[in-house]
Structure 1
C-alpha cells in the first residue's frame, strides 16, 4: 500500500459545483450509493456534461440524520477511497449539492420530489427495505405500510413519500419522475413498482392505476464491494489529509447496467461506463448467482472456521477450492448467456475481487441476513440444477453450512452474535435441525417446495449431520475428494 505524502493526493471535483442544479433526489445516502451512483455522476460532471442532474440527498430513518449532519458540515462532499492492492486512491465526490432535513412525515422530501426539475428519484434502502413478503408481494401487514396506507399525506416510508410527491405533481400538471432502484435485488425495478403501486392501492385504487400506467421503474444491476466505515476507514481518510467522519472505501471494480426507460430524461451515463441494455436480467442473474452466491459459499465455512476477513477466507485452500468447484460445476453451467461476456472470465475477476486484501471485507458481513439472501442467491441455482436433472451437492452443502452457522457457535465453540433479522427463530430451528434436518428445509419462505424433494432432503441431512459430527474443515475435505 502506498501512503500519500500530502493532502493534494485526494482529488477534488474537476468542475464548478456552483453551476450544478438538481435533477435527482436520492433516498438512502449509505456507503454504496456514495461509492457507486454518485461516482458515476461525478465522472460525468467532470466531462462538462449533465450539470443539471446533481443529487439532492434524503433519508427517511432517524439514523439518516447523523449522515446528513456529517455531510452538510463538509458541503455535501463525500470522500471515496479506492482500495487497490497497488496503492490507495482518494477523491472527493461533489455530485450531491444538498441533503434534505430528516423529519417525521417527510414534508421536505415530498416537496423536493414534487419540484418539476426533479426527473429521477433513486433509492438505496437495502435489500430488506422493500416490505416484500415471502411470496414476493407487498407485505400489507407491515406496521409501516399500514401506517402509510392510513395516513398517506404524512408518510413514514420512502415509498409513501414517493406516492405523496407523485400525487402532488399530478395535481399540478407536472409529469411524473422516474423511480430508479439502485438496490441489489433481482428485478429491482419490478419490485419497486409492486411496492409503490401496492401501497397506493391500499388507500386510493384509482391513483394506483395511474401510477402503474404512467410512472417508469427501470430495472438495473449494480455492483461494487463497499465495506462499512469504521476507525480503519477514518484513518485512511486522515492519511490523505482529510478529517471526514464518514469516508467511503471501495474496491476499484464497479459496474452498472440499466434499462433505458426514463420518460422524463436521464443523464448521459453511457459516457462514463454505464451499460444501457434490454438484457439487464441476464447481467443480473450472472451477478447474483456467481458473485452473491459465491459470497455465501465462502462466508459460512469461513464463519464456522473462525475466519474474520474475506481475503483470509480466500487464502484458505479448502474454502477457495470449495468455491471453485461449486461455481464451475453447479453455478456457471446454469447461468444463461450474457451479451459480450464470457462467464468464466467474469468468475476469474470475481475471484480477484474476493482476494483483494485492501478491501478487508468481513466474513460476518457476507453472512448477514441469510434468510433474505439465500432465497435469492442460492436456492434458485439449486432449483435450476434440479430442473436439469442434477443434484447439486455443493450448493446443498452450502445451505447446510448456513444452517450450522445459524446454530450460533463456530466449530471451535466461539459464540456467533445475532446476524439476521430473524436470528432468534433461525437459531432455535437450526438447533432442532441437528436432530431433524428436514425442519430446516421446511422453511417454505426460503426453500419453497425443495423441502419436499426427497433427494434434496437426503443430501441436506447427510451434509448437516456430517458438519455437526466432523466440522466444516473435514466436510469440505470430503466433498472436494468426491
Structure 2
C-alpha cells in the first residue's frame, strides 16, 4: 500500500525516494511566488530545495500564491500534505523520485489581505511569477503591453481592489515605499523572450493608468531581471499519480513528473539580495538574450513544429511523434534549414549540438508529454515561438517554406478535426474565434493571416501569404501525411 506524503511519513518514504536533508523548521520566507503549478515546482522550487540541502540561504524559502482558482486548488492540495511535492525525474533508462520541501506556506487567491501583507513584508526580497505566456497582457501584433485588456482596465479603474498579479505587485510596492522598505525584485520564470522587460512593461504600464508618478518610480527603482528557464514538465493526471504509487509506493495528490534535464540562465540584478543559486547550477550572465532566443526558437519553436503535425496524424504522446518518420523528419528539416540559421550566436554554445539535445529530450519515452499539451494556446505561443523567425527570414530574403507549412498545420488543426475525421476538443483560450477563422480559411487561406493581432506585418507579406496559401491548400487537398512527405522530398 502506498504511503501518504506528509512530514510524519518522510522517514519511511526516505527508503523509496530522496527527501529533504535539511531542517524545514529552520526555513524562513524570502520569496513570494505567484503560480505554483507543475513547472514552478519542477524548476525554481527544486533548485531552492537543492540549495537548502547545501545548508545555506534558509531565509529564501517560498510562500506560494496565485490569482486563479487553479492556484487555489493546488494550494489546498499542498497544504494537506505539509507543502511537500514528489518530483519524479525521468530519462529513458531511469526514473528517480525526490521530495522537495522549499515551500513553507501558501496563500489562497481569495485572501488578498494576506497577499498584500506578505508583499509588504521586508523579509520578502523576491516576487517571482509563473503565470503562463498568455498572462502578461501582451498585444501579439505589437508585442507591447495591452492597456485595453478588460482585466487591466478593471484594475486601473479600481487599483485598491486589483485582481491581476500585476495590480497586486503594484499595491505591494506602494506599501513598501510608504513604509520605507526597499523594493523587492520581480522575477519572471515564464517562457517569454525578455521576460523581465515584459514584466516591467506590464507593471509600469498598469501603474501608469492610475498613478503615472508611481509608474515612473517603479521604472527607476524596481529590478526586473530577464531569465531563461527550461525543463519539460507535463501536466499531472491520474496516470502520474498511479505511476508514483506503483513504482515508488508514494501517495501524492499532485506529484510532478519531469525530465532529468533542467536549465536556468539569469541576469544578476537583485538589489534586495538573492540566494546563491549559482551553487546549484543556475548560470548568471550579463545578458540572457542569446540564451533565451536559442531556447525559445529551437526548443519551443520545435515543439510547435511537431505539435500540429502530430495532432493531425492522431499521435498522442510526444515521444511517439518523434518515432514517426514524417514528424521527426519535419522537425529536423525545418530546424536545420530555417530556424537554426537565423539564431544568433550563443556564448560557449554550439546550436547544432543544442538541437541534438532537444531531439533526445523530445524522444524521452518516460515523460508522457502529450501532443495536445504542445498544441495548447497557439494564439499566444505562435507569435512568440514561430512568427519572429518568419519575420527574420523574410527580412533577409530567405525561404520560409517550412515555417509557412507549420503555420498552415496550426490553421488546419484549429478547424477542429484531425485528418482521420476525429474531433479535436477546444484547445486554446481563443478557440471559438480560431475555429471560425480556420473554417473561412479552408476556401480563403488569407482569412487566417488577417488575424493582425497574431501575425502583424508578417501576415501582409506577399511571399509568406503565397507560401502559406499553397501549404494550406495542399493540406486540405492531400492531407498532412502526403503534404509532409512532399516537403521532405523537396
Query: 1:119 touches 1:265 (CA, 8 Å); kept in 2?
Result: yes
- Which residue in the other structure is 1:153 paired with? 160
Deviation at residue 116 of structure 1 after TM alignment: 0.5
1:451-473 Cα offsets, whole Å, 9 max, x none, are 33222211111111110011011
- Which residue in the other structure is 1:118 paired with? 124
* Aligned partner of 1:84 among 83, 91, 105: 91
- Which residue in the other structure is 2:359 paired with? 351
- Which residue in the other structure is 1:232 paired with? 239
Alignment of 1:43-122 (within 5 A): 43-103=50-110, 106-122=112-128
Inter-partner Cα distance in structure 2 for 1:247 and 1:20: 22
Query: 1:123 touches 1:182 (CA, 8 Å); kept in 2?
Result: yes
- Which residue in the other structure is 1:256 paired with? 264
- Which residue in the other structure is 1:299 paired with? 307
Are positions 1:142 and 2:145 aligned together?
Answer: no
- Which residue in the other structure is 1:320 paired with? 328
Deviation at residue 9 of structure 1 after TM alignment: 1.7
Runs of 4+ in 1 over 6 A off after TM superposition: none
Query: 1:326 touches 1:395 (CA, 8 Å); kept in 2?
Result: yes
Are positions 1:330 and 2:338 aligned together?
Answer: yes
1:421-442 Cα offsets, whole Å, 9 max, x none, are 1111111111111111111122
SS of 1:98's equivalent in the other structure is strand
SS of 2:159's equivalent in the other structure is coil
* Aligned partner of 2:373 among 333, 346, 365: 365
* Aligned partner of 2:397 among 389, 393, 398: 389
Are positions 1:459 and 2:472 aligned together?
Answer: no
Alignment of 1:253-292 (within 5 A): 253-292=261-300
* Aligned partner of 2:350 among 342, 358, 370: 342
SS of 1:122's equivalent in the other structure is strand
Deviation at residue 42 of structure 1 after TM alignment: 0.6
Inter-partner Cα distance in structure 2 for 1:33 and 1:425: 30
Query: 2:13 touches 2:250 (CA, 8 Å); kept in 1?
Result: no
Query: 1:391 touches 1:456 (CA, 8 Å); kept in 2?
Result: no
- Which residue in the other structure is 1:184 paired with? 191
TM-score (norm 1): 0.97
Query: 2:223 touches 2:271 (CA, 8 Å); kept in 1?
Result: yes
Query: 2:34 touches 2:64 (CA, 8 Å); kept in 1?
Result: yes
1:336-375 Cα offsets, whole Å, 9 max, x none, are 0001110011000000000001011110111111111111
Inter-partner Cα distance in structure 1 for 2:69 and 2:336: 44
Deviates more, 1:63-72 or 1:134-143: 134-143
TM-score (norm 2): 0.95
Deviation at residue 151 of structure 1 after TM alignment: 2.1
- Which residue in the other structure is 2:4 paired with? none
Query: 1:24 touches 1:119 (CA, 8 Å); kept in 2?
Result: yes
Query: 1:42 touches 1:94 (CA, 8 Å); kept in 2?
Result: yes
- Which residue in the other structure is 2:46 paired with? 39
Deviates more, 1:36-45 or 1:85-94: 85-94
SS of 2:250's equivalent in the other structure is coil
SS of 2:365's equivalent in the other structure is coil
User: Structure 1: where are the runs of 5+ without partners?
Assistant: none
Deviation at residue 7 of structure 1 after TM alignment: 6.1
Inter-partner Cα distance in structure 2 for 1:466 and 1:472: 8
1:95-138 Cα offsets, whole Å, 9 max, x none, are 1111123316x111110110111100000011111122232333
User: Structure 2: where are the runs of 5+ without partners?
Assistant: 1-11
Inter-partner Cα distance in structure 1 for 2:364 and 2:457: 38
- Which residue in the other structure is 2:254 paired with? 246
Inter-partner Cα distance in structure 2 for 1:480 and 1:147: 50
- Which residue in the other structure is 2:7 paired with? none
Deviates more, 1:348-357 or 1:125-134: 125-134
- Which residue in the other structure is 1:208 paired with? 215
Inter-partner Cα distance in structure 2 for 1:144 and 1:429: 25
1:142-201 Cα offsets, whole Å, 9 max, x none, are 232222222222221111111111101101100000000000111110111011111111
Query: 1:190 touches 1:217 (CA, 8 Å); kept in 2?
Result: yes
